[in-house]
Amino acid sequence: MKGDEHAITVTEKILASEDLSDKKGILKKHTNRINDYDKAFFNLVDSIIVNEDQKGEIVEAMLEKTKKFKSHNLNLLEDVDQQINKTVNNLNEQVEDMKTQLLTIKYRDNI
């Protein structure tokens, strides 16, 4: 009927999709650098202790501690890489959600 008001509500994407996965590479570059420093340190320790044929209880204890430290650091870096993946994926989802808007269109019949 003429003059009747109606409303329709729709969900509309107001901005184009954008993949933020490239941010993972930027963040992982830093964990890779930390890993490179760790490798250099462990190679130095190895060259001092192992390659110079050092022996004894202190040397064995140092080697054991170094191996544990190396393993711990690798586990930490793996955890950080996993967190980077999760965080960037969550960021992608949040950004996509923000690009969607609920719109209500109200109109009146003219016929």
- Angstrom distance (rounded) from CA 95 to CA 111: 42
Instruction: Please check whether residue 49 lies inside any domain of the structure.
Output: yes
Which tens digit of pLDDT belongs to each residue from 59-111? 888 888 988 999 999 999 999 999 999 999 999 888 888 888 888 999 888 87
Instruction: Please check whether residue 87 lies inside any domain of the structure.
Output: yes
Number of domains in the chain: 1
Instruction: Please check whether residue 90 lies inside any domain of the structure.
Output: yes
Instruction: Please check whether residue 56 lies inside any domain of the structure.
Output: yes
**Angle at CA of residue 101, ends 99 and 104, nearest 5°:** 165
Q: How distant, in Å, are the alpha carbons of 17, 27, 30, 62, 85 from that of 33?
A: 31, 10, 5, 24, 17
- Give 52's pLDDT tier (boundaries 50, 70, 90): low
Q: Say if residue 51 is exposed, middle or buried (CB neighbours under 10 Å; 0-12, 13-18, 19+).
A: exposed
Instruction: Please check whether residue 78 lies inside any domain of the structure.
Output: yes
pLDDT for 58: 82
- Angstrom distance (rounded) from CA 36 to CA 73: 11
CB 13 within 8 A of CB 100: yes
Instruction: Please check whether residue 109 lies inside any domain of the structure.
Output: no
pLDDT for 23: 87
Which tens digit of pLDDT belongs to each residue from 4-25? 898 999 988 888 888 888 889 9
Give the range of the structural domain holding residue 68, as residue numbers without chain letter. 16-97
**SS3 of residue 11 by DSSP:** strand
Instruction: Please check whether residue 7 lies inside any domain of the structure.
Output: no
Instruction: Please check whether residue 21 lies inside any domain of the structure.
Output: yes
